[in-house]
Amino acid sequence: MGEENAASQLRLSSARRRIDAFIEQIDVLAASSFPHDDGRAALAAIRKHCKDLQADLDLPVGVRTDVVDHLCLNLLDKVDKFTAILGFILRSTNVRNPFELHYIVKKLVSRALDGDVSLLISSEWTYVPFTYPMSVDQLPDAILIGTPAPESGNPLLIPLAGHEVGHSAWRMYGCSPLYARMANQAVKEEIDRNKEAGKALLEAAPLKALDKDRVINQCAGHVMEQLEEIFCDLFGLYLFGYGFIAAFDYLLGPGGHVRGLDYPSDDQRMAILVEAAGDKVEGALDLRLDAAMAAHWTVAAPSLADKAGAEIVDAVTRSMVPQVRTDLFARLQSLGINPPQQHVIDNVLQAFERGEPYPERVELGEIVSAGWHRLRALDLAPCRGADEEEKRGNRSKSYKVLADLVLKTIEVAEYHDRIAGHA
Amino acid sequence: MLNADEICIRLEHDPGHVDRLAIVPRPDQAILRARGGTSVDLRLGRWFRSFKPSKSSEAKLWLEPSAAAPPLDADLGDLPAERQWAPPARDAMRTSEHFVRFGANFVLHPGRFVLGVTMEWLSLPRTLSGYVSGKSSLGRHGLVIETAAGLHPGFSGCLTLELANVGEVPVAISPGMEICQIFLHRVEQHECDDPGTFSGQRKPAISLPKRDAIFDRLRGAEPYSAAALR
C-alpha cells in the first residue's frame, strides 16, 4: 500500500510539473505581439482550462491509485492536444502571415455560419491541403485556418479555407441527419441496379447475403464522407467562385493522389466543381472559367479490393450531388450571401492590370478571383528581361506586386466597413 | 505645384487617361476642395519595420561583394564577377516587421527610428511628380516624418515613411491617423521605365542605393570594368 501511495505521489508530481510548465509557456506566449484579439482570447481560454486541470491534481494523500492514473492520463491527453494548438497560435503571430485577411475572412465566415466566430489564421509546415480541421472542445467557436508556410504570404490561397470552414457548416447546418437516410436508400437501389458490382460487393462480405445490411450501412457511411467533402468544396466554390477552383487546381492539380472510399477522387472533385461553376446547369454559379479549368486531371483509381465498393459509392454520391448543391446554395443565399459577381471581378481585374488596388468595397471572393485571373494572365505572358535570371526576377516581382494589390484591396474593404460603422 | 482643384480633376479622370492620378483609398474630395490647399494628407498604414540590435559595429550603406549574399546553394567560384555583387543582407536579417491593428498604437520612444507606410496606395501618371512632407502639427511634438523624399512620375505603391522621434517624450502613433502630406508638380511627359526601386509594395521597404561603379572605383573596391558601369 505504501509503495502504491509513493508511486501515485510521484505520478502526481510529474503531472503537476507538466501542467505548470505548460501554463508557464502559455504566459510566455501571451506576451507575444498578437495582430488580432482572437489569438490572445484563444490562449486565455486554454489557460483557464489548464488551471482547472491543475486544480484537479490537488488531491488529498491516500487517494486510490486508479483515480490518480485516470487524472494523469486525462491531463497528458489534454496537454498533448493543446500543445499543437499552442504552436498554431504562436505561428499565427508570425509576420509572414498576411494579417490583412483576418477581418474580411472572419466577417465572411461569421455570415456563412450565421454566428460569431473567432478566427486564427496561421501557417503550417506540415500542411496537407484539405485535411486540417483542428478543433478543440475548449474553443468551440474558433475556426483555425492553416495555410502552407512557404506560401503563407500568398492571399490567393485563402479560398481553400472555404473548404475547411465547410466542415463547420456541414455540422452547423445539420447535414448528416438530413442526407443519411437518403444515402442508405440510394445505396440499396444502386446495389439492385448495378447487379455486377452489387454482387461482387456482397460476396466480398464475410457473411455474404446475411451481411447485406452491414455492407449497405458501410457504403452509406462512405457516401456520407464523400458528400461532406463535396459539400465543403461547393461551400468554398460558392464563397470564392473562380478563386476556389483556381486555388484547388494550383495545390492539387493534376490530381492522381491515392484515394480511399471516404474521399472522392481529385478528378471527380474537380469535375463537380467545374459543373457547379458552369452556366448550363440548373443552380450553377455562372463563373468564367479558363483553359486550365478544362484541363484533364489524372484519374485516381481505387485499389482492386475497393473496386466494386467504389463503383457503388461513387454512383450514389454522384446522384446525390445535385441535391446537396441545391440545398447548400439556397441556404447560403438565404443568409444573404451572394457568390462572386463576374462584372465586379472584371472591374477589380482591370484595376490590378493598371497596377492599382480596387478602391470600392467588394467581397473577398471577387478580390481573389480577380487576383487569380491576373495571375493566370501573368503566367502566360512573356516576361521582360535580358536573360533568364532577369526574367525570373521580373516575374517574381510581378507576383509579389499582385499579392500586395490583392491584400491592399482587402484592406480597403475593411476601411470602407469601418468608415461606414459596419466593422 | 497643383492646387486642390487640379488634384481633384486628376483623381476623377477615367482609367487610361494620361493624367490620371489614383489614390486608394480615395481621399474625400469635398474636404480636399474645401480646405483649398496644395497637398493631400495621407494616413498611416498598419505595417512597421524597425532595426534590430546587431552584433555588427556598423551598417554599410552601399553594396559590397559578399560571400553571404548569394543563395545558399551558389558556388561563388562559378558565379560571374558581376553576379557576386549582391545586397549584403536581406531586409529580414537586419530589421523586424510589426503589424499594428486599427485602434492600437505604436509607441516611438525619444531617439528611436522606425519605418512606417502610408495606408494609401498611390499611382502617379507620367505627368506628375511630387514630394512627401511631414505635418507640422506632429513635428511640433517631436515626430519627424520623411526627409524631402521625391515621388517619381509613374510611381505606384504605398509610400515608406521614415519616422523618428526627436522630442523628449514617447509619442504614440496609430494606424489610420493622418501622418504626412504629398505635394504634386506637373512635369513634362517622358518615357520612364524605372519609376522607382520600391514601386508596388504595401509594406515599408528598405534597400540600399543601386550599385555605383564610379564609387566602387573611387574607393578601390573593384578594378574598372565597362560592364559594371552599365
**Contact at CB, A405 and B201, closer than 8 angstroms:** no
- Chain A nearest-CA residue for B17: A354
pLDDT score for A97: 93
Say which range, B35-39, B43-47, B75-79, has the weakest mean pLDDT: B75-79
Measured between CB atoms, does A99 come within 8 Å of chain B? Answer: yes
Most confident of A50-59, A257-266, A357-366, B68-77: A357-366
Per-residue H/E/C for chain A = CHHHHHHHHHHHHHHHHHHHHHHHHHHHHHCCCCCCHHHHHHHHHHHHHHHHHHHHCCCCCCCCHHHHHHHHHHHHHHHHHHHHHHHHHHHHCCCCCCCCHHHHHHHHHHHHCCCCCEEEEEEECCCCCCCCCCCCCCCCCEEEEEEEHHHCCCHHHCCHHHHHHHHHHHHHCCHHHHHHHHHHHHHHHHHHHCHHHHHHHHHHCCCHHHHHHHHHHHHHHHHHHHHHHHHHHHHHHHHHCHHHHHHHHHHHCCECCCCCCCCCCHHHHHHHHHHHHCCCCCCCCCCCCCHHHHCCCECCCCCHHHHHHHHHHHHHHHHHHHHHHHHHHHHHHHCCCCCCCHHHHHHHHHHHHCCCCCCCCCCHHHHHHHHHHHHHHHHHCCCCCCCHHHHHHHHHHHHHHHHHHHHHHHHHHHHHHHHCCCC
Contact B25 A416 (CB under 8 A): yes
pLDDT of res. B201 = 87
Among A50-59, A338-347, B64-73, B104-113, which stretch is predicted with the lowest mean pLDDT?
B64-73
CB-CB under 8 Å, B200 with A397: yes
Q: Which grid cell is A364?
A: 473577398
Residue A61 has pLDDT above 80, yes or no: no
Q: How confident is the model at residue A22 (pLDDT cuts 50, 70, 90)?
A: very high
What pLDDT, on the 0 to 100 scale, is given for residue B67? 40
Which of A35, A359, A401 lies at the smallest CB-CB distance from B200? A401
Higher local confidence (pLDDT), B57 or A38: A38
Q: Would residue B24 count as lying in a domain? A: yes
**Least confident span in A68-77, A197-206, B122-131:** A197-206
User: Which residues of chain A are within 8 Å of residue B200 when distances are taken between CB atoms?
Assistant: 355, 397, 400-401, 404-405
Q: Say what the pLDDT of residue B191 is.
A: 58
Residue of A301 and A380 predicted with greater confidence: A380
A235, pLDDT greater than 50: yes
Contact of B10 with chain A, judged by CB distance below 8 Å, is answered with no
Instruction: Provide the pLDDT for residue A133.
Output: 47
CB of A399 less than 8 A from some CB of B = no
Q: What is the pLDDT of residues A246-273, one digit of tens each?
A: 999 888 878 777 777 888 888 888 889 9
pLDDT band for position B74 (50/70/90)?
A: low
Which helix (H) or strand (E) segment holds residue B186: the answer is: strand B178-186
**What pLDDT, on a 0 to 100 scale, did the predictor assign at position B86?**
47
Mean pLDDT to the nearest integer, B187-191? 70
CB within 8 Å of chain A, chain B residues 174-193:
none
Asked if A400 contacts A406 with a C-beta cutoff of 8 angstroms, the reply is no
**Assembly ipTM:** 0.87
Task: With a cut of 60, say whether residue B83 has pLDDT above it.
Answer: no
Could you tell me if residue B182 is inside a domain? yes
Residues 320-339 of A with CB under 8 A from B: none
pLDDT band at A134 (very low <50, low <70, confident <90, very high): low
Residue numbers in B near A397 (CB within 8 A): 200
**Beta strand A142-148 pairing with A118-124:** parallel
Please say whether the beta carbons of A136 and A82 come within 8 A.
yes
Percent of chain B with pLDDT over 70: 75
pLDDT top residue among A287 and A79 = A79
Residue A330 to residue A283: CA distance in whole angstroms: 9
Whether pLDDT at A279 is above 80: no
In Å, how far are A395, B28, B201 from A358, measured between CA atoms?
22, 16, 15
Nearest to A246 by CA among A372, A151, A140: A372
Q: According to the model, what pLDDT value does residue A394 have?
A: 86
Question: What average pLDDT does this structure show over B62-80?
Answer: 56
Cα distances from A202 to residues A199, A215, A225, A263, B138, in angstroms, run 5, 7, 21, 21, 80
In this structure, is residue B222 part of a structural domain?
A: yes
Mean pLDDT of A82-89: 90
Measured in whole angstroms, how far is the alpha carbon of residue B55 from the centre of its chain?
26
Pick the residue with more confidence: A347 or A131? A347
Residue B66 pLDDT > 60: no
Per-residue confidence at A204, pLDDT binned at 50, 70, 90?
Answer: confident
Whether A147 shows a pLDDT value over 80: the answer reads: yes
What residue in A sits closest to B27 (Cα-Cα)? A359
On whether any CB of chain B is under 8 Å from the CB of A412, the answer is yes
Q: Which residues of A386-418 are buried (b: 16+ CB within 10 A; e: fewer)?
A: eeeeeeeeebeebbebbbbbbbbbbbbbbbbee
Could you give the CA distance from residue B211 to residue B64 in angstroms, rounded to a whole number? 9
Residue B230's pLDDT is 47
Q: Which residue has the higher pLDDT, A203 or A157?
A: A157
The domain spanning residue B95 has which CATH number?
2.70.40.10
Q: Does A396 touch chain B (CB under 8 A)?
A: no
Q: Which residues of B are catalytic?
A: 162
Residue of A152, A154, A411 to mutate, interface with B, max B Cβ within 10 Å:
A411
Q: Does A126 touch chain B (CB under 8 A)?
A: no
pLDDT at residue A38 above 90?
Answer: yes
> CB-based contact (8 Å) between A386 and chain B?
no
**Number of structural domains found in chain B:** 1
Where is pLDDT greater, at B133 or B90? B133
- The answer to whether A80 and A389 have CB atoms below 8 angstroms apart is no
> What pLDDT, on the 0 to 100 scale, is given for residue A292?
64
Contact A408 B24 (CB under 8 A): yes
Distances (CA, A) of A351 to A141, A192, A344: 36, 56, 11
In this structure, are residues B145 and B139 in contact, taking their beta carbons and an 8 Å threshold? yes
Contact residues for A70 (Cβ-Cβ < 8 A; gap 6+)? none
Check CB contact of B194 with chain A, cutoff 8 Å: no
Residue A291 pLDDT exceeds 50: yes
Q: Which of A136-145, A231-240, A242-251 has the lowest mean pLDDT?
A: A136-145
- pLDDT confidence tier of residue A388, bands split at 50, 70 and 90: confident
| B57 in any annotated domain | no
Who has greater pLDDT, B200 or A103?
A: A103
B119 close contact with A: CB closer than 8 A? yes
Which of B24, B98, B199 shows the shortest C-beta gap to A357?
B24
User: How far is C-alpha A11 from the geometric centre of its chain's CA atoms?
Assistant: 39
Which triple of cell numbers denotes residue A152? 503563407
Q: Which residues of B95-110 are buried (b: 16+ CB within 10 A; e: fewer)?
A: bebbbbeeebebebee
- Residue B223: pLDDT above 70? no
* Beta carbon pairs, A and B, within 8 Å: 61
pLDDT of residue B160: 92
- pLDDT band at residue A132 under the 50/70/90 scheme: very low
pLDDT of residue B114: 96
Q: Do B102 and A411 touch (CB under 8 A)?
A: no
**Is B159 inside any structural domain?**
yes
- pLDDT at position A306 over 90: no
Domain carrying residue B172? 4-52+62-229
Measured CA to CA, the distance from residue A160 to residue A240 in angstroms comes to 9
More confident residue, A79 or A301: A79
When the pLDDT of each residue in chain A is averaged and rounded to a whole number, the result is 88
Distances (CA, A) of A306 to A184, A200, A201, A259, A311: 19, 10, 9, 10, 8
Q: Is B24 on the interface with A (CB under 8 A)?
A: yes
Q: Which cell numbers hold the place of A339?
A: 457568390
Residue pLDDT, tens place only, B116-175: 999 999 999 999 999 999 999 999 999 999 765 889 999 999 999 999 999 999 999 999
Give A282's pLDDT tier (boundaries 50, 70, 90): low
Chain A residues closer than 8 Å to B158 by CB: 408
Q: Does the distance separating the beta carbons of B97 and A408 come in below 8 Å?
A: no
Higher pLDDT, B93 or A41: A41
Q: Shortest CB distance from A355 goes to which of B96, B98, B200?
A: B200
pTM of the model: 0.89
Is the CB of A100 inside 8 Å of chain B's CB atoms? yes
What is the per-residue pLDDT for B192? 56
Q: How far is B67 from chain A (nearest CA, A)?
A: 19
Residues of chain A with Cβ-Cβ distance to B156 below 8 Å are 355-356
- pLDDT tens, A167-187? 889 989 999 999 999 999 999
For the segment B100-128, the average pLDDT, to the nearest whole number, is 95
The secondary structure of A295-330, three-state, reads CCCECCCCCHHHHHHHHHHHHHHHHHHHHHHHHHHH
8 Å CB contact between B116 and B45: yes
